[in-house]
Amino acid sequence: MIAELTGELKRKDGQRIVIDVQGVGYRVHVVKEYGQKLAVGAKITLLTYLAVRENALDLYGFENLETLDYFELLITVPGIGPKSALAILSLAAPAVLRQAITAEDTAYLTRVSGIGQKNAEKIVLTLKDKLVPAATPSGETSVDLATEADALEALKSLGYAAAEAREALKKAGGGDTSARIKAALQALGNR
């Protein structure tokens, strides 16, 4: 199995990149946010997962071990394949997913992660016992799921697409719903 690649980024196209490792170009599927911040020509290191199918060998690359671990957990859920798992990780950070799963909040998973109700229920049932709730040093949970969902709905009602609203909320930081909406609107305005 190919576990890690280090080389020069030759091309990037959305969620796919080509990394040159000593003259061999590997096409790797990556989380959208990570792919966007990479610069062509830069030397990068990716942790990878090799998905073997009957007619293809697909490489999925990750910036850190936490994201790779969540990817591997998600693909253990019936009905969630590597591409779906990567799409989920592109829409919600691992910490947010952990909190939603341990809180058994399928409504949040369907609204924010963009997956259907059946798959959200499968994710919760399969993974809730495998994850422990994360907490900040003060003992409070790291993300308020209701605030996140409300802010997303507000941005969508203002006419923003769900994907761009999610991206803006990732950059918005913490705070109550109105503070997150303001920060997200600023991020959307600075595009």
Q: Mind listing the domains of the chain with CATH numbers?
A: 4-62 (2.40.50.140), 65-127 (1.10.150.20), 145-189 (1.10.8)
pLDDT at 135: 46
Tokens representing residue 157 in the block: 């009602």
pLDDT at 132: 64
* 115 in Cβ contact with 101 (< 8 Å): no
Task: Give per-residue pLDDT as tens, 35-87.
Answer: 888 999 999 999 999 999 999 999 999 999 999 999 999 999 998 899 989 98
pLDDT at 105: 84
pLDDT at 112: 61
Question: What are residue 44's DSSP bridge partners?
Answer: 7
Using 50 as the pLDDT threshold, list the residues of the chain that sit under it.
Answer: 135-141
What DSSP assignment string belongs to 51-90? EEETTEEEEEEESSHHHHHHHHHHTTSTT--HHHHHHHHH
Mean pLDDT across the chain, nearest whole number?
Answer: 84
Q: Is the pTM of this model over 0.85?
A: no
Q: What is the 3-state secondary structure (H, E, C) of 146-186?
A: HHHHHHHHHHHHCCCCHHHHHHHHHHCCCCCHHHHHHHHHH
